[in-house]
Amino acid sequence: MDWFLLSYTVLGGLGIFFFGMKMLSDGLQAVASQWIRNAINTLTSNRIMAVLIGLSVTVIIQSSSITTVMVVGFVNAGLMQLSQAIGVILGANIGTTITGWIISIKVGKYSLLLIGISIFPLLFSKNERWSQIGRVVFALGMIFLGLNLMSSAFKPLRTDPGFLNALQYFTADTYISLLATIGMGCLLTFVIQSSSAMLAITIALASTGAITFQTALALVLGENIGTTITALLASVGANTTAKRAGVAHAVFNILGVLFISSIFWYYEEFIEWIIANPADTLNSKGEKPFIAAHIAAGHTFFNVTNVIVFLPLMKFLEKLVIKLVPDKGIKEKPRLEFFGDPKLMSPSLGIGQARAQLIKMATIVNKIFNNTRSFLNKGQDPEVLYKKIKKLEKITDKMHIEMAEFLGLVMESPLSLEETNRVKAILRMTDELESIADYCLSIAKHTRRAYNEGIIFEGKIQNDLEHLADKSAELFDSVNDRLLHYEDVDIETLRPQWNEFNQTLEIMKEDHLVELTEKKLSPKASLTLGDIVICFRRIKNHTVNLAEAYQGGKQLKPAESSKNKSTSSEEILV
C-alpha cells in the first residue's frame, strides 16, 4: 500500500472539506445574518427558548464549537448568565448534528456539478443575496468533493493487514474496547479541533468498509467529548462564570457518553431498528451505502436524548459545575475581551461579538455619567468619586482600542454592504461613547481643580450646573436605553430634548455674563465654569452623534464632534 499517496489524498480531501465547511458557515450566516443577530441578542432565562436559540444558531453557523466559544465570551463579559449559557450549549449540541445528515446525503458524485453551477451567481451576480446563495452551493460542492477524496483514499484500508491488525483494539465489541474506541475518537477530535471534520472522516472510513458501524458509533461518542475541548480552552484566563460555562459543556457531554456507553449495544440495535437496511450491508463495490445515515442518526439521537434528559436537570447541572469550579473568594468583574480569531470567524459572528461589547461599553459610560452628576452635586466624597470616574474612563479607553483592532481584523474578511455599514456604525458609536466618557472625566477634573483652589459654585450657578447635568443625562439616557434594549431610535422624538438643552445653555450664558459683569464671579471661576459648560455641550453633541450612528447614519445638522476643536471666547463665556 502506498501510505504517502493515502496520506496526502486524505489531507487534501480534509482541507477541501474544511474550506467547504467554512464557506458554508459564512454563506449561511450572510444569508440569514439579520436572523442570527436577533437570535444572539435574545438572551432569555426560559430554558426551552435558550435551547432553541442554541440549536438554530448552530444549524446556521455549522459549528457547535463556535457557538460555545461565543457563549463563553458572552458569559465572561457579563452579558449572559450561566443558566442561559447552559441552555444555549444544550441546543448547540443538537444543532451540530445537522452536519452528519449533510454528509450522509448521497450526492457526492454531483460535487463538481454543484461547484460549476454555483460559479455563475457567485462571481457574476450583482444581487448580493444570489451571490451568497451561490457561495452556499459552492461550499456544498466542496464538502462533497473533499468527502469523496477521503473515501477514495480510505478504500485500500479495508484489505490492508496492518490496518486490520491495529483495528482489532477498536472494535467496540467489549467494554474495554468500547472505552478505547471512545478515547480514540476524543483524542483525534482534540487534535483536529473539529468534530465535524472528525465525523466526516468517520463516515468516509465506514462508507468504504474500513470500519464497522459499531466502531463508527463508538468513535462518534468520543467525538462528542473531544469537541468540548475548544470551549474549555476558550475559558482559560476567563472569569469563574465563563469557566463554568465551558465546564458545563464538557460535563454534559461526558455524562451523556457514560450513560450511552453503559447501554451501548442496545443503543446500536435501536439505531439499526429505526433506520432502514442494516448499516454494514455491502454493495457490489464493497462499500456500505447505508452506514452514513446510521451514523448521522446515532449522532443526532445521542444529542437529542442528552438534551431531553438534562433539560429538566439544568439547575442540578448548574449546581454541579459551581461545585467543580468554586468561587475564588474575591469579587470578579466581567472582563472586557473578545473570544476567537476574527480572521477565522464569519463577519456576522464578529459583528455580533462587537455589538455585545458595545452594550457593555454603553453600560460603563452610563455609570461614569451618574458618578459625574454625583460629583457635581457633592453627594459623596469627591476624591472617591473622582477615582471611580478615572478608573471607568480608562476601561472605556481600553475598550475603544480593542474594538477598533477587532473590527479592523473583521473588515479584512469579505463583507456585504450591510455588514460594512454595521461595522462603521459600531466603530462610530464606540468613538462617541469614549468621547462622552472623556468629557465626563474632564468635568470631574475641572470641578476638582475648582474645589482645590477654593472656588465654590453656590446658589443659582450651582443649580444651573445641576440642571444642565440633568438635561444632559436625560438626553443620553434616552439614546442609551434604546441602545441597551435594541430598540429603534426616533431622531425626531429626541429633537425637543436637545433643543431644550440648547435653550438651557443660552439662559446660562446670559446669567453667566450678568454674574461676571457684576463681579459676583471671579475671572478664574468664570473660566472654570465655562470649561465645565463646554464639556456638557460636547457631551450633548456626541450623544446626538451616537443617535445618528445607531439609527443607521441618518443625516442631521452638523454637530460638533471633535474633541480637539478650538475653543472660542464666546464658548468660554457660555
pLDDT at residue number 338: 52
Would you tell me how many other CB atoms lie within 10 Å of the CB of residue 271? 21
Please give the class, per CATH, of domain 347-572.
Answer: mainly alpha
The answer to whether 374 and 309 are in contact (CB under 8 A) is no
- For the chain, give every domain's residue range: 3-324, 347-572
8-state DSSP, 47:
H
Which of 236-250, 313-327, 328-342 is least confident? 328-342
8-state DSSP, 155:
G
The answer to whether 334 and 76 are in contact (CB under 8 A) is yes
How much of the chain is helix, strand and coil, in % rounded to 5? 80, 0, 20
The answer to whether 6 and 122 are in contact (CB under 8 A) is no
pTM of this structure: 0.63
CA dihedral sign, ordered 177, 178, 180, 181: positive
All residues at 6 or more sequence positions from 80 whose CB lies less than 8 Å from its CB, including other chains:
43, 71, 74, 88
Report which of 117, 33, 565 is spatially closest to residue 346, judged by C-alpha positions.
33
All residues at 6 or more sequence positions from 11 whose CB lies less than 8 Å from its CB, including other chains:
none
Is the pLDDT at 375 greater than 70? The verdict is: yes
Q: pLDDT tens digits for 454-472?
A: 777 677 777 878 888 888 8
The winner for highest mean pLDDT among 137-141, 436-440, 527-531 is 436-440
Would you tell me how many other CB atoms lie within 10 Å of the CB of residue 240? 17
Q: pLDDT tens digits for 377-388?
A: 766 677 888 888
Q: What residue type is assigned to position 152 of the chain? A: S
The answer to whether 149 and 44 are in contact (CB under 8 A) is no
**Backbone Cα Rg of the chain:** 30
Which of 107-121, 225-239, 545-559 is least confident? 545-559
All residues at 6 or more sequence positions from 323 whose CB lies less than 8 Å from its CB, including other chains:
none
The winner for highest mean pLDDT among 108-122, 210-224, 475-489 is 210-224
